[in-house]
Structure 1
Amino acid sequence: MRVRILVALCASIILSVTAQKRYAILDNDWSSTAFTVPLMALDGGIDVLALTDCTGDTWQPQETLHALAILEIGNLSCIPVVPGATWPLLQTVERFQAWQSIHGPLVWQGAFALPNYTAEALGSDPTGGDPNRIVPSAFVEGFPTTKAVNTTNSANYMVEMVKKYPGQVSIYAAGPLTNVALAVRMDPTFAENAKELVIMGGYVDVELLQATGSLLMANLNSDINLIMDSEAANIALTAPFPNITIAGNVANQVMSTQSFLDQVIQVNNSYSNLMYKYYGTEFPFWDETAMALLIDPSINMNSTNVFVSVDTAYASPSYGNIHVYQKALAPPNTRSVQYVFQVNGTKLQDMIMHAVQYPPQVC
């Protein structure tokens, strides 16, 4: 009898631990210094099921190689990299450039900028032209030797994992939302059976900052993640996820500084070296802010619930920009999301620094 009770107790404990386990799929337009995101997730006790990608800052095939490389340098290649969509749902380079010719150019145009072979020769990721063109000189982290998953794609993988772990998989998206939208359209139960969607993007009321600040300020406040695939963004942000958290304006709150990088390099390893040399001090901790909110919601110091939609009118100057409403004034086919205004910046920096200085060993 005692043995039976002990077995039952052990089974109950195992079930409890399994039920509490947190999973995440990290979808991003990966780059040489984007390792901060998976390191933070792992350091926060999250089981990272895969890194997925879609065209954003550069073309998807180049991003896949970056994802492989940033895992490889930390002996984290047991985490699969699952390639995603090379093209947005509707957007093309020509269509994007045509919109800019009417409504004005964006400072940063991502993969849809015209090719700049001079910049590529100096180590920039490819833009425009052939989406399958790989630029090895951009891999300051080292060119990968491992391979991506070739039996499925990002959207399929998201659907499969949410079915395998219903209610436990967080979808993190810090680039365009193409893969998330495809998963939503592929399986009507996908969104409702995920744990949550956390995105980086969705700026509100930033036109004056774009118009009266520097070009850098205009860049920091342009919603390229949503503009790259506006239709996908609207599909994802109106899908029935149990919770959607948007790190929009708040993602500009905490900047990378030389002082921070000087502290990071005090613990010397492959990741801290790369961050010190290549992360830079021009930009905020965009993707890291969204990841911190996913790991530890208590970092959120001020937020509200609003109804949202994304402007999908191609003729509109605000094409790809988010619109927010109170419930009484919300148009049909919108939903409530958590819009974060402020995070604990000190805690955010501490999370980044610890993850980079002491990268988790999970493989």
Structure 2
Amino acid sequence: MRLLATLLALLLTIGLAHADTPRRKVIIDDEGFALMHLMLLEAPDVDVLGITTVTGNAWANRATAMALRGLEIARRTDVPVVQGATYPLLNSEGLTDRWEALYGKLTWKGAWMKQWVEPTQQSTPPYFGPNDPVDLPEGNPTTKARDEIAANFLIRMVRQYPGEVTIIAAGPLTNLALAQRLDPAFASLAKELVYMGGSLNPRQALDNRAAADFAREFVNTPRREFNIRFDPEAASIVARSPWKAITVVPVDPSTGTQRSKALLDRMAKSASPDLASFIAALEPGFPLWDEIAAGVWLDPTLVTDQQTLYVDYNSQFGPGYGDMLSWFAPYRPGLGEQPATVIRTIDATRLETLMVRLMANSRPK
């Protein structure tokens, strides 16, 4: 009996210690709602302070509606959604058309995408204008976004919780650049920045058609990636801001991953009925770009290779506009570049396992 009482006391002490452990605060800055958001929302040790939206793959108004509806499906309407920048700082659809006439076609143009340059396995998204009405296939949200600007929300949160807020950005970095220009202390008040963007030298790592479709983009343009290319000026501002820590997830590790039908089926089987229907309706075949960013933050042991590099982005309107620039410390130009942990490879199998496991947290207890 004494041994049993001791064990019970020990378990109680461990449970109380776990309960007293502060949850990690995070803001998700992105252009929609998908698996990355669900991973962070379902992680038991994470407090999602809010989702800020930005134009990237979709216009900001559409991204906001997607985030609101996704939170409704996930039964997490307690998380605020704050709409951000509709347009990049300088880049535009017209400038991109002019750039393509001079330097060649871009593979993906996000909200400006009208058709693929060549046949591809992925569907072509419908084209909308920045102020077109939003009618989502998964149903329109009944909740509303906060009456605030994303850049102001970001500043307010890092000032409310100095040194505690991680920002995970998975779209163009326009909101973060605006926040930094509005408040020069913004980056230094955050705990860290984790962002999916940039490209070093990706190579096809999976032997299937979908993987080949994506990997071909980098054969002749190894340093170009959409999130950065959409707003290169914002990316350069953010890369040179005084963050306490920066983790960059470039395209490179994503070529060994895929949102396969098998993975979606496993996640749907693990999730609650509402989330299962949402997950099952997602289009397969894409790499796990944003999910890697969430995964390596949740579990850094997923990383199998990383480097410390000084990073910036080319903001000169020319053939290398938006390309990633990187240096080892002795070679950097010294114009404010910050050291960043750049993720080169990850354990894709363990990432999938983590994703499936997190979806199980959505089931009613």
Aligned to 2:98: 98
Aligned to 1:55: 55
SS at match of 1:273: helix
Aligned to 2:4: none
The answer on 1:142 being equivalent to 2:142 is: no
In 2, the alpha carbon distance for the partners of 1:331 and 1:233 equals 17
The answer on 1:204 being equivalent to 2:182 is: no
Aligned to 2:216: 218
Please give the residue correspondences for 1:298-313 in structure 2 after superposition, counting only pairs within 5 Å.
298-313=301-316
Please give the residue correspondences for 1:287-298 in structure 2 after superposition, counting only pairs within 5 Å.
287-298=290-301
For residues 16-56 of structure 1, the C-alpha deviation after alignment (integer angstroms, 9 at most, x for no partner) is 947x431111000104xx1x222211333210011111110
Aligned to 1:186: 182
| Pair 1:112–1:87, CA change in 2 (3 A) | same
Aligned to 2:339: 336
| Pair 1:89–1:114, CA change in 2 (3 A) | same
User: Cα offset for 1:125?
Assistant: 5.5
Aligned to 1:73: 73
Q: 1:314 aligns with which of 287, 312, 317?
A: 317
CA contact (8 A) 1:26 1:50 kept: yes
In 2, the alpha carbon distance for the partners of 1:76 and 1:224 equals 29
In 2, the alpha carbon distance for the partners of 1:42 and 1:290 equals 14
| Pair 1:97–1:208, CA change in 2 (3 A) | farther
CA contact (8 A) 1:126 1:135 kept: no
So what's the TM-score if we normalise by structure 1?
A: 0.84
SS at match of 1:265: helix
SS at match of 1:198: strand
Aligned to 1:120: none
Aligned AA for 2:185?
Answer: T
User: Cα offset for 1:66?
Assistant: 0.3
Q: 2:273 aligns with which of 245, 269, 273?
A: 269
Q: 2:23 aligns with which of 21, 24, 34?
A: 21
CA contact (8 A) 1:53 1:82 kept: yes
Please give the residue correspondences for 1:112-127 in structure 2 after superposition, counting only pairs within 5 Å.
112-114=112-114, 127=127
Aligned to 1:358: 361
| Pair 1:77–1:183, CA change in 2 (3 A) | same
Q: 1:259 aligns with which of 246, 258, 262?
A: 262
So what's the TM-score if we normalise by structure 2?
A: 0.83
Q: Work out the percentage of aligned pairs sharing the same amino acid.
A: 32
Aligned AA for 1:246?
Answer: V
For residues 122-181 of structure 1, the C-alpha deviation after alignment (integer angstroms, 9 at most, x for no partner) is x975536x3011341xx232211110001x111100100000101110011000000011
Q: 1:171 aligns with which of 164, 167, 170?
A: 167
Size of the aligned set, in residue pairs, is: 330
| Pair 1:135–1:305, CA change in 2 (3 A) | same
| Pair 1:208–1:299, CA change in 2 (3 A) | closer
In 2, the alpha carbon distance for the partners of 1:208 and 1:22 equals 34
In 2, the alpha carbon distance for the partners of 1:320 and 1:272 equals 37
SS at match of 2:247: strand
Aligned AA for 1:62?
Answer: R
SS at match of 1:266: helix
Structure 2 residue runs without a partner (length 5+)? 1-15, 117-122, 206-210
Aligned to 2:234: 232
In 1, the alpha carbon distance for the partners of 2:92 and 2:31 equals 17
The answer on 1:43 being equivalent to 2:42 is: yes
For residues 321-344 of structure 1, the C-alpha deviation after alignment (integer angstroms, 9 at most, x for no partner) is 111111111012212100011222
CA contact (8 A) 1:234 1:312 kept: yes
In 2, the alpha carbon distance for the partners of 1:82 and 1:179 equals 11
| Pair 1:264–1:205, CA change in 2 (3 A) | closer
User: Cα offset for 1:206?
Assistant: 4.5
| Pair 1:42–1:361, CA change in 2 (3 A) | farther
| Pair 1:78–1:70, CA change in 2 (3 A) | same
Q: What's the Cα RMSD here?
A: 2.6
User: Cα offset for 1:246?
Assistant: 0.8
CA contact (8 A) 2:303 2:346 kept: yes
SS at match of 1:305: strand
